[in-house]
Amino acid sequence: MTLDTFVLQLTNGLVFSLLLFLMAAGLSLIFGLMDVVNLAHGAFYLLGGYLGLSIVRWGGSFWLALLLAPLLVGVLGLLLELTLLRRLYRRGHLDQVLATFGVALIVADLMRAAWGAYVEVVAPPALLAGQVAIGGLAFPTYRLAVIAVGLSLALGLWLFVERSTVGMQIRAGVSDPQMAGMLGVDVPRLFAGVFAGGCALAAFSGVAAAPILTLYPGLDSEILILALVVVVVGGLGTLRGAFFGSLIVGMADVFGKALLPEFSVFAIFVVMAAVLLTRPAGLFGRATATRGA
Amino acid sequence: MARPPWVPIRALGRHHPAPSVWRATMENNAMRERWEQFTNTGSRWGSLVLVALLAVLPAVAPPYLRSLVIEVLILAIFAMSLDLLLGYTGMVSFGHAAFLGLGAYLLAFFTRSVGANLLQALPVVLLGVALFAVVAGFLALRTSGIAFLMLTLAISQMLFGLAIKWSSVTGGSDGLAVARPYVGIGGATLGFGPDRSFYYLTLASFALAWWLLRRITASPFGHALRGIKANEPRMQALGYRTHRLKLTAFVIAGLFAGVAGMLLAAFNRHASPELFGWAVSGEAIIMVIVGGSGTLVGPILGATLVHLLESYVSSYTELWRLVMGLVFVGFVLFAPQGIIGLLRRRGRPPSEVELAAAIKEPEPAALPKERRT
Amino acid sequence: MSALLVLDRVRRSFGGLCVTNAVSLSVAAGERRALIGPNGAGKTTLFNLISGVLRVDGGRIHFDGRDVTHASLDQRARLGMGRTFQRNNLFPALSTLENVRLAVQQRAGLSARMFRPARSYHAVTDEARELLDRVGLRDRADAAAGELAYGQQRALEIALALALHPRLLLLDEPTSGMGPAETAELIDLIAGLPREITLLIIEHDIDAVFRLADRISVLSFGSLLAEGSVEQIRANPQVQEVYLGQSTDEVH
């Protein structure tokens, strides 16, 4: 691998990592707060992408898609939380996870019915369609934009969770929901909000990734599983873990595919196995790995 | 417990509950026990009658139905094996398809490189499955609960990716063809083609798997697994090496799933990467939950219902997963104990403990967890 | 008499709070030792450290001449430590008999047997029934453990611990939440245990402590305050101040 291809792959790895992060951040926060793994998260990612595709096709701009699709999916997430998950709070987390799996099946089939089983390509907005030359290397402008947006969103999310009042409530809820409830935090509302927000983030990631990864049935589970690995590697329930986990998994995926195409999946899982053997709770986990169903 | 003489021995094997009659008699413990046995792992007579009925089925049923029953029986083995983890031990594996696919692919490898004699293939394939199960289980069991679910999912997905990408060995997304299997000792061979012989091979495997799992779940080991599900830290305080027991259960479940995978590959004459997919693992969970987890009859019922629903609905619409998803969410919401739970509820009023368990799995209470410190 | 259990400067803290502060303790084989102290003195934490539920931050634990500092909860149980929990910790959905059978089959080394039905191991069932008899639960064998009355659950806890044939029995407030009659029965039961079982008991009922214990250790704020015979502890002014405080009148 020459230095040039290395730099290009590094860029691709960063792009993929940040897209993964947007997926995994929602997944991880939802898990940290509610102890629920949202198995419909991948479906929401893909739904975001497909909605974006339709918005662009109906004459809306890519930018509108980037705004509207997450909003729609966020509302869907909110409805799901209010109608389905809330009924299962008292019953334990396993049932909630299973319910989200049912939703994943339903949404996946509805998407297949609505958008068919073809590979759909979404063109990046004209403004970002070209390439940028840096140091003799040509980088696709869109990918650089994704990096910029991804990093700023990561920073924004971090600031939101660390600095804002709502963020403080979320952190309180992650570390001890009961205590947070006693301190006057409206826990059900917080759950609903974080769940909806996480789904919206996934959808945003789906729209942003569509020009790069395309859209096709089955992408939902592929992305979901990578995001799950991210969360396992990074540690459940932490934003920092989701970020660094995404970097590790994203890079392992991109470089694995470049170096050992046949065994690229192995790269990711070797990383995961190594992390689990040394730190069962993940790199940044607070031994939460023993929590759950 | 002694059975009062006026309780008919086989009463429960024969008819399904007529609620009014039942409620009156269900006070009786022996009766209750038999009903639970019947809906739990299957009463001896009930299961014999079922297997006997299935044995005469090919004589009267069209080939189409025969194939359908073959698939149901294979899936029933698969679902029962998953329930050993999910329902009995409380380990929610979302990657059980790994073993189904592994059984199928290892059989394919074996028939291509050595031969299609099942008597030779079986030990080799099972050894391979067991080795993988030990390694995967060792890794996955470093966690529990939701993290375990995610890890098992990730591990099976790794095999899926390998099956697709490593095409020089696995045939990529086309999968691998499987030679027509036979059983051969010396010069005598018995081939299993698309005729009745394969049906009986499957039925025999199903009956054997059911019988073995009944023995296992009723054994001290099986009881220990239930103890782990109810309260693992307490089991440790009683001196149980729970990690080892869970790993053993994981390997046993993997072996049965591997057998199901071998049968499936032999039946389809093909091993395809989809067998590793998370949809397959998820479908198995649906079968177990819809039928009734923590039982053996439940997964059998669930496999039957889900597969029949699938083949029925898919003949009308492409969207059978949608229908299945809706049915599944309905069960999770309104009947988490599955069909078995519904039957039992009709049979007698649930005790307080069962109500509590239906609302929430009992939480291991008093052991402070190290993580809180 | 040789020491069965030796704690050597065992320490444990939670966050910044030192809950067990260099506790050294030696319990002789066959001895009956009570561990007393005001609420929050760290008695249950000490039990958790001894039985392996929690790990020590420092110090050593020896059991029967063996260093078990790093042994796991289940290893220690198999070495002969049986314990009960302050809050009932059972298998609520399983029958009372099945609860005890689980303990008996483990001790008998049968828990890996997977081909014969558990019910066909009659020796296990018989022993479990005997134990239920012993703790007064004979009539409740088929009831789900979760349906037992509170006091009965306490008794079942003890049956579970006894099923392990422990050499050291750790009882964490066995009579808590029990009425006077039940308490008296339970104390009789404990007092009647064979002397081969070394006893370490946390108990708030002072009369029970004075009746059961050969020696008493007093824990206060994570440290060992005093240790001695019943008479010595009774007469110890420091102990009276810290623990017995108001109740000295009743004791005398």
pLDDT, tens digit, 9 for 90 and up, residues B133-184? 999 999 899 888 878 888 898 889 889 888 988 888 888 888 898 888 888 7
With respect to residue A145, please indicate whether it lies within any of the assigned structural domains. yes
Q: Is C150 on the interface with B (CB under 8 A)?
A: no
With respect to residue A266, please indicate whether it lies within any of the assigned structural domains. no
Are C89 and B351 inside 8 Å of each other by CB? no
Are B220 and C93 inside 8 Å of each other by CB? no
User: Please, how many CA atoms are within 13 Å of residue A156, restricted to the half-sphere of its CB?
Assistant: 8
Return the residue matching tokens 């939902």.
Answer: A220
Q: Is B318 on the interface with A (CB under 8 A)?
A: yes
C-alpha torsion B98→B101→B107→B110, nearest 10: -70
Interatomic CA distance for residues B345 and B19, integer angstroms: 10
Are B285 and A101 inside 8 Å of each other by CB? yes
pLDDT at C167: 94
Tokens for A217, please give them.
């049935």
More confident of the two residues C182 and B261: B261
How would residue A31 be classed by pLDDT, with cut points 50, 70 and 90?
confident
How would residue A238 be classed by pLDDT, with cut points 50, 70 and 90?
confident
DSSP C144: B
Q: What is the mean pLDDT of chain A?
A: 86
In chain A, the percentage of residues whose pLDDT exceeds 70 is 97
Partners of residue B361 in chain A, C-beta under 8 Å: 92, 94, 293
The parent domain of residue A193 ranges over 22-217
Helix ranges, chain C (H): 43-51, 73-79, 96-107, 122-134, 150-163, 180-191, 206-212, 230-235, 237-239, 248-251
More confident of the two residues B6 and B200: B200
Measure in Å the smallest separation between the Cα of B24 and chain A Cα atoms: 31
Q: Which of A176-180, A210-214, B178-182, C231-235 has the highest mean pLDDT?
A: A210-214
How would residue B360 be classed by pLDDT, with cut points 50, 70 and 90?
very low
pLDDT at A180: 76
Backbone angles phi, psi at A280, to 5 degrees: -55, -25
Count CB neighbours of A83 within 10 A.
Answer: 10
Q: Is B369 on the interface with A (CB under 8 A)?
A: yes
What b/e sequence results for C81-96 when a residue is b if at least 16 CB atoms lie within 10 Å of its CB, and e otherwise?
bbbbbbebbbbbbbbb
Partners of residue B142 in chain A, C-beta under 8 Å: 276-277, 280, 289
CA B144 → CA A28, A32, A35, B162, distances in Å?
17, 15, 13, 25
How would residue B31 be classed by pLDDT, with cut points 50, 70 and 90?
low
Task: Please check the confidence at residue B73 and state whether its pLDDT lies above 70.
Answer: yes
Are B162 and A287 inside 8 Å of each other by CB? no
Q: What is the mean pLDDT of chain B?
A: 82
More confident of the two residues A267 and B256: B256
pLDDT at A236: 77
SS3 A102: helix
Measure in Å the smallest separation between the Cα of B256 and chain C Cα atoms: 15
Residues 84-103 of chain B whose Cβ lies under 8 A from any Cβ of chain A: 90, 92
Short-list A43, A111, A82, A87, CA closest to A195: A82
pLDDT digits (tens, 9 = 90+) for A131-161: 888 877 888 888 999 999 999 999 998 898 8
Q: What is the 3-state secondary structure (H, E, C) of chain B?
A: CCCCCCCCCCHHHHCCCCHHHHHHHCCCHHHHHHHHHHHHCCCHHHHHHHHHHHHHHHHHCCHHHHHHHHHHHHHHHHHHHHHHHHHHHCCCCCCCHHHHHHHHHHHHHHHHHCCCEHHHHHHHHHHHHHHHHHHHHHHHCCCCHHHHHHHHHHHHHHHHHHHHHCHHHHCHHHCEECCCCEEEECCEEEECCCCHHHHHHHHHHHHHHHHHHHHHHHCHHHHHHHHHHHHHHHHHHCCCCHHHHHHHHHHHHHHHHHHHHHHHHHHHCEECHHHHCHHHHHHHHHHHHHHCCCCCHHHHHHHHHHHHHHHHHHCCCCCHHHHHHHHHHHHHHHCCCHHHHHHHHHHCCCCHHHHHHHHCCCCCCCCCCHHHC
pLDDT at A288: 41
Q: Is C93 on the interface with B (CB under 8 A)?
A: yes
Among B208, B225, B238, most C C-beta atoms within 10 A, so best to mutate, is: B238
pLDDT digits (tens, 9 = 90+) for C85-140: 988 889 998 999 999 999 999 999 998 899 898 888 999 999 999 999 998 898 99
Domain count, chain A: 1
Partners of residue B1 in chain C, C-beta under 8 Å: 142
Tokens for A231, please give them.
């969360």
Q: Is C28 exposed, middle or buried (0-12, 13-18, 19+ CB in 10 A)?
A: middle
Closest CB from B154, B167, B360 relative to A272:
B154
Count CB neighbours of A1 within 10 A.
Answer: 10
Return the residue matching tokens 């028939």.
Answer: B111
Partners of residue B151 in chain A, C-beta under 8 Å: 232, 272, 276
C144: left (phi over 0), alpha (psi -120 to 50) or beta: beta
Q: Is C53 on the interface with B (CB under 8 A)?
A: yes
DSSP A47: H
Task: Please check the confidence at residue B284 and state whether its pLDDT lies above 90.
Answer: yes
Give the H/E segment covering residue C18.
Answer: strand C17-28
Q: Which of B214-223, C197-206, C212-221 has the highest mean pLDDT?
A: B214-223
Closest CB from C54, C88, C93 relative to B353:
C93
Among B216, B219, B248, most C C-beta atoms within 10 A, so best to mutate, is: B219
Are A262 and B369 inside 8 Å of each other by CB? no
Interatomic CA distance for residues B88 and B252, integer angstroms: 13
Q: State mean pLDDT over B242-253.
A: 97
Are C91 and B230 inside 8 Å of each other by CB? yes
Task: Name subunits touching B (3+ CB pairs < 8 A).
Answer: A, C
Closest CB from B147, B277, B322 relative to A292:
B147
Strand partners, C81: C168
Among B94, B148, B157, B359, most A C-beta atoms within 10 A, so best to mutate, is: B157
Are A112 and B360 inside 8 Å of each other by CB? no
Task: Please check the confidence at residue B15 and state whether its pLDDT lies above 70.
Answer: no
Task: Name subunits touching A (3+ CB pairs < 8 A).
Answer: B
Are B162 and A263 inside 8 Å of each other by CB? yes
Evaluate whether C126 touches C141 at the Cβ level (below 8 Å).
no
Partners of residue B215 in chain C, C-beta under 8 Å: 114-117
Interface A-B: count of C-beta contacts within 8 A: 151
pLDDT at B34: 67
Are B90 and A276 inside 8 Å of each other by CB? no
Task: Please check the confidence at residue B4 and state whether its pLDDT lies above 50.
Answer: no
How far is C-alpha C212 from the chain's CA centre? Answer: 13
Measure in Å the smallest separation between the Cα of C54 and chain B Cα atoms: 6
DSSP C111: T
Query: Kind of pairing, strands C66-67 and C58-63?
Result: antiparallel
Measure in Å the smallest separation between the Cα of B215 and chain C Cα atoms: 5
pLDDT digits (tens, 9 = 90+) for B333-351: 998 888 988 887 765 544 5
Measure in Å the smallest separation between the Cα of A105 and chain B Cα atoms: 5
pLDDT digits (tens, 9 = 90+) for C202-239: 988 888 888 889 999 998 888 888 888 888 888 888 87
The CA-based angle A143-A145-A146, given to 5 degrees, is: 65
**Which residue in chain C is spatially nearest to B364 when comparing CA positions?**
C89
Task: Please check the confidence at residue B371 and state whether its pLDDT lies above 50.
Answer: no
SS3 C199: strand
Residues 192-221 of chain C whose Cβ lies under 8 A from any Cβ of chain B: none
Evaluate whether A99 touches B369 at the Cβ level (below 8 Å).
no
Among A88, A96, A97, most B C-beta atoms within 10 A, so best to mutate, is: A97
With respect to residue A1, please indicate whether it lies within any of the assigned structural domains. no
How far is C-alpha C52 from the chain's CA centre? Answer: 13
Measure in Å the smallest separation between the Cα of B165 and chain A Cα atoms: 5
Are B371 and A287 inside 8 Å of each other by CB? yes
Are A109 and B319 inside 8 Å of each other by CB? yes
Are C91 and B231 inside 8 Å of each other by CB? yes
Per domain, the residue ranges of chain B are 65-277
pLDDT at B150: 82
Short-list B121, B141, B117, CA closest to B253: B141
Partners of residue B365 in chain C, C-beta under 8 Å: 85, 87-89
pLDDT at C245: 55
Partners of residue A36 in chain B, C-beta under 8 Å: 146
SS3 C2: coil
B154: left (phi over 0), alpha (psi -120 to 50) or beta: alpha
DSSP A164: S
How would residue B219 be classed by pLDDT, with cut points 50, 70 and 90?
very high
Are C94 and B248 inside 8 Å of each other by CB? no
Measure in Å the smallest separation between the Cα of C251 and chain B Cα atoms: 32
Partners of residue A241 in chain B, C-beta under 8 Å: none
Q: State mean pLDDT over C31-45.
A: 88
Are A262 and B148 inside 8 Å of each other by CB? no
More confident of the two residues A33 and B91: B91
Interatomic CA distance for residues C12 and C54, integer angstroms: 9
pLDDT at C1: 54
Closest CB from B230, B239, B365 relative to C106:
B239
User: Please, how many CA atoms are within 13 Å of residue B28, restricted to the half-sphere of its CB?
Assistant: 16
Interface B-C: count of C-beta contacts within 8 A: 133
SS3 C74: helix
pLDDT digits (tens, 9 = 90+) for C134-181: 988 989 999 999 998 888 899 999 999 999 999 999 999 988 888 888
The single-letter code of the amino acid at B191 is G
**Which residue in chain B is spatially nearest to C160 when comparing CA positions?**
B238
With respect to residue A242, please indicate whether it lies within any of the assigned structural domains. no
Q: Is B67 on the interface with A (CB under 8 A)?
A: no
